[in-house]
Amino acid sequence: MRRYGQVFHFEAWVGALLALLIPACSQGLGAFQTGVGNTPNSPPLAAFRVLGQFGTQFSALVYDTDASWTVTGTIPMNVIIVNNQTPVKMIATKLSNGNGILSLQLTLGFTVEDVASTNDPYGTASIQNAPTAPGFTPPPPPANPDVRLFVKGPLSERFSGLIEPTVSGGTTQGFILSDRVPALVLYENPQQPVDATLMQIQNLGPFNADLLVGGMVVAHVTGAPDVTIVQP
């Protein structure tokens, strides 16, 4: 794992991270910075939790002030924006005519900022922070480049990771990730190529993760208890 000209010890930061984690049955911390390399501390970033009837398919529009992403998937799913620019919003729609519930949570770290749900056939729910903030009409253009990391197995595995690099104000940054599978990581303004190192906490089975650019899978990893995925 490169670390801006420094030797970075993966096991050391994971041990420090685990000492800080608060137990939670189904939630994660999302992404955050905690003095990785030469980067400063920063508050936890936005994470969306799509919960409800297991296996229900949905489509969602996720956006912050600079970019938007279209996401499709099945319940449950965690969606994390790395390097997001607040405010943030998700609008999710059920893709079925059943009465199963679709529930959304917006979290910053372990703090729940907003919740919404629907059990209507093809129902829609939306969440955002700073509800009165301007800038959400219309949504910003789609992310370009659209780089995503989808950690899709093993289901419910709690994991930690180091995500890099992204750019903010001309500064290259690395982010620590702590969440549960399945987790879709959206990169805000990434400096390509990107990479991520993931480490299992529960060891429920091998990781199964894809790195996507422009909707195409460019790298795939399977393994345990830790893996590294790199954009070619």
Two tokens, residue 32: 């955050």
**Confidence bin at 112 (pLDDT 50/70/90):** confident
For 76-105, write each residue's pLDDT tens digit: 999 998 887 778 899 999 999 999 999 999
Nearest-angstrom CA–CA distance, 140 and 75: 26
Residue extents of the structural domains in the chain: 2-42+143-230, 46-128
Q: Tell me which amino acid residue 91 is.
A: I
Report the share of the chain in percent with pLDDT over 70. Answer: 75
Q: What is the per-residue pLDDT for 34?
A: 42
Q: For residue 107, is pLDDT > 90?
A: no
Q: For residue 52, is pLDDT > 90?
A: yes
Q: What is the per-residue pLDDT for 177?
A: 84
What would the 3-class secondary structure string for the chain be? CEECCEECCHHHHHHHHHHHCCCCCCCCCEEEECCCCCCCCECCCEEEEEEECCCCEEEEEEECCCCEEEEEEECCEEEEEECCCCCCEEEEEECCCCCCCEEEEEEECCEEEEEEEECCCCCEEEEECCCCCCCCCCCCCECCCCEEEEEEECCCCEEEEEEEEEEECCEEEEEEEEEECCEEEEECCEEEEEEEEEEECCCCCCEEEEEEECCEEEEEEEECCEEEEECC
Output the CA torsion 89→93→98→102 (10° steps). -10
Q: For residue 228, is pLDDT > 80?
A: yes
Report the share of the chain in percent with pLDDT over 90. Answer: 53
- Among the residue ranges 130-139, 158-167, 203-212, the one predicted with the least confidence is 130-139
**Confidence bin at 38 (pLDDT 50/70/90):** low
Q: For residue 210, is pLDDT > 90?
A: yes
The average pLDDT across 109-132 equals: 87
Q: What is the per-residue pLDDT for 57?
A: 97
Q: What rounded mean pLDDT belongs to the chain?
A: 80
This prediction has a pTM of: 0.82
- Among the residue ranges 22-26, 41-45, 195-199, the one predicted with the least confidence is 22-26
The average pLDDT across 114-141 equals: 83
**Exposure on the CB side of residue 220, measured as CA atoms within 13 A:** 6
Nearest-angstrom CA–CA distance, 90 and 138: 13
Q: What is the per-residue pLDDT for 206?
A: 96
The average pLDDT across 24-53 equals: 60
